[in-house]
Structure 1
Amino acid sequence: MPSIIAILNHKGGVSKTTTTINLAAALQQKGKKVLVIDLDGQANLTESFGYSIEEPNTIYGAMKGEYPLPLIKTESGITLIPSCLDLAAAESELINEPGREMILKQLIGKLPKENKLDYILIDCPPSLGLLTLNALTAADFLIIPVQAQFLAMRGMAKIMNVISIVQERLNSNLKIGGIVITQYDKRKTLNKSVTEIIHDSFCDKVFKTIIRDNVALAEAPIHGKNIYEYNKNSNGAKDYMALAGEVLKLK
C-alpha cells in the first residue's frame, strides 16, 4: 500500500503547493512512484504542472461519484489528479452525503492496483472544512508547512485540535509526519526568531530540513515545471531533496 501524506495548513501562502509538487519530484528522483492529488479549489497544483483548470475530469467529479479518480501522467512522470474551480462548491454539495468524510479514502482504495504507487501526496485547501477532513481521514501522515514569519504560529493550536479529533473519531492511524519551515532567509533576524519558537514549541515534530527562500521555487510553476526540471542545482532543489530523505524515514 502507498504511504498517503496530506500537506496542510489553513493559513494561505505558506508553500503548501510548492511543497507538494517539489517533494513529489524529489521522491521520484529517489526512485519512488508518486501520485499527487489537487484537493484545493484554487487548482494551483494543477496549473503548476502546466495543466488547465478546465480539465474535463477532475477530483470534483470523482468526489460527486460521476467517475473514478482521473489520472494524468505528467511529463515529469508524476501522476496528477487535477482540480478545478468548481471544487469549492463540493463542501456544500456533499454536506448531506452519508460518510462524507470518507469519500476520498474510498476513491483512493479503488485506484488500479497495477499502478504500484509508493506515495500519494494530497495538496489540501487553506481551510479546515470537509475537503481537508477527507484528506486527513485518508492520510497516514500529515506534513504542515509553516512560513518563517511573525504570524506563522497563529492557528497552529487549531490545527493540532482538529488532528486530535480526526485521530479520535475518523482515522486512528493518522500521525504528524512533521512541520517543515519554509521561505527561510538566514539574513533576517525575524526568520531566525520564529524558527527558534517553532522548534521550542513542537520539538521533535519539526523536520531538520528548512526550505530556504529561493526565487527558483517561485519561477518553476510559471513554466509548468518542478524545481528539478527548472533548476536542479538551486537551493530549493537541494532543500526538497533533503526533506524527501526525511520523509522516506517516516514510519
Structure 2
Amino acid sequence: MKHPGEDQHSSNSASVFDGATPLAREIADLTRRRQAIASERLPKPEKTRVMTISNQKGGVGKTTTAVNIAAALARQGARVLVIDLDPQGNASTALGVDHRADTASVYDVIVNDLPLGDAVQKSPEFGALYCVPATIHLAGAEIELVSLVAREQRLRRALDLYMQGLEEPFDYVFIDCPPSLGLLTINAFVAAREVLIPIQCEYYALEGLSQLLKNIELIEKHLNPDLSVSTILLTMYDSRTNLANQVAQDVRDHFPKQVLKTLIPRSVRVSEAPSYGQSVISYDLNSAGSLSYLEAAAEIAHRGAPQTGSQR
C-alpha cells in the first residue's frame, strides 16, 4: 500500500537525480531498469526456438552472450538448453557443468552417435537451464567428421530426435559456435532456425561480417532453407567514446530490423563471472551488465521467431 505523499516523494527524488551528479543519475537509471525487469513477464514461444550464436571474429562476446541470454531467459521461467559446440568449453564452464575429458559430451553425440539426452546436464544456475558440454575431444572433431555420413546434419538429427521424445519441450536452444567456419559451425547452422550475431562496438566491427552473411546464405540455400539472421546484439559498448557510438549507428543503419535496442556495456562483472562458474545473471544480478542481458533476453522473447522460410 502506498503511503500518503509517496508519489510526490518519488517525483521529487527523480527531479533531484535529474540535476545530480552522473553517478546519482546512473544509480537512478539502474533502479528504474531493475524495477521494469522485476515487473515483466516474458512470453514463451509457441514452439522451440533454436538459435545459433556465431561470429567468425573472435573476442566479440559470443560465448558470454550465449550463456547470459540463456540464463536470463531461464531465470524468467523459460526452459533453456545450451549446446556448447566450442572446443574451448567456455560455455560449459560458465554454466557450472562438468566437462572433463571423460564426460559424455557433444563430441560423443555428433561423432559417436550418442543420444543427445545422454549428454544433457542440469546447470546449477537455474532450475530450467540445461547444457550439453564440450570436452577437449571436440578439438579433433572437425577432422573426424570429414569421413562421416551426413556430416553437416549430425547435430540437427540428434537434436530433432531428442526433442521429439521430450514430454516437456524446451522453449529455447542456444548453440555456441567456435570462432571459425568449419564443420562444427556448419552443424550448428543446419540445426538452427535463427542466427544471433554479437558484434562488438569497436574498430573493425563489421570486418568479416559480410563473409559470415554470405556463408549463412549458402547454408540457407543448400542445407537449411529455414535459417535466417534474426538478431544482432551490440556488445562491449562504451558510451564515453565517439567510436562506440559511431559503430553502433553504422550497424543499425545496415541492419535496422535485426539489431536489438539493448546495448551490452563493457563490464568487469560480466568478465569476472565465468571464473566463478557462473553467468553474470547469478553472479551479480544488479550489475549493469546483468541488467543489459536481462533486457536483451526480454527483447528476444518479445520479438518471437521470424516468419521466414518454410516451417520445419
Q: Which amino acid aligns with 1:48?
A: A
Question: Which of 114, 120, 132 is residue 81 of structure 1 equivalent to?
Answer: 132
Matched, 1:68 2:122: no
| Partners of 1:225 and 1:41 in 2: CA distance | 19
Q: Secondary structure at the match of 1:31?
A: coil
Q: Which residue of 2 aligns with 1:250?
A: 304
Q: What TM-score does the superposition give when structure 2 sets the normalisation length?
A: 0.78
Matched, 1:128 2:181: yes
CA RMSD of aligned residues (A): 1.3
Matched, 1:7 2:53: yes
Q: Which amino acid aligns with 2:297?
A: A
For 1:62-103, what per-residue CA distance to the aligned partner results, in whole angstroms no more than 9, with x for missing partners?
A: 111242120101112310100012212111111122211100
Q: Which residue of 2 aligns with 1:35?
A: 81
Q: Which residue of 2 aligns with 1:145?
A: 198
| 8 Å Cα contact 1:184-1:191 kept in structure 2 | yes
Instruction: List structure 1 segments (4+ residues) > 6 angstroms apart after TM superposition.
Output: none
| 8 Å Cα contact 1:177-1:250 kept in structure 2 | no
> In the comparison of the two structures, how many residue pairs are matched?
251
Matches of residues 91-102 of structure 1 in structure 2 within 5 Å? 91-102=142-153
Q: Which residue of 2 aligns with 1:24?
A: 70
| Partners of 1:61 and 1:225 in 2: CA distance | 25
Q: Which amino acid aligns with 2:266?
A: D
Question: Which of 190, 198, 205 is residue 243 of structure 2 equivalent to?
Answer: 190
Q: Which residue of 2 aligns with 1:59?
A: 106
When Rg is computed on C-alpha atoms for both structures, the one with the higher figure is 2
Ranges in structure 1 where 5+ consecutive residues have no aligned partner: none
Q: Which residue of 2 aligns with 1:200?
A: 253
Q: Which has the higher contact order (CA 8 A, sep 6+)?
A: 1
For 1:186-211, what per-residue CA distance to the aligned partner results, in whole angstroms no more than 9, with x for missing partners?
A: 00111111111111222222111111
For 1:108-143, what per-residue CA distance to the aligned partner results, in whole angstroms no more than 9, with x for missing partners?
A: 012141242111000011011111111111101100
Ranges in structure 2 where 5+ consecutive residues have no aligned partner: 1-46, 306-312
| Partners of 1:114 and 1:88 in 2: CA distance | 33
Give the Å deviation of 1:47.
Answer: 1.4
Q: What TM-score does the superposition give when structure 1 sets the normalisation length?
A: 0.96
Report the CA distance shift for 1:115/1:73 in structure 2 as closer, same or farther (over 3 A).
Answer: farther
Q: Which amino acid aligns with 1:240?
A: Y
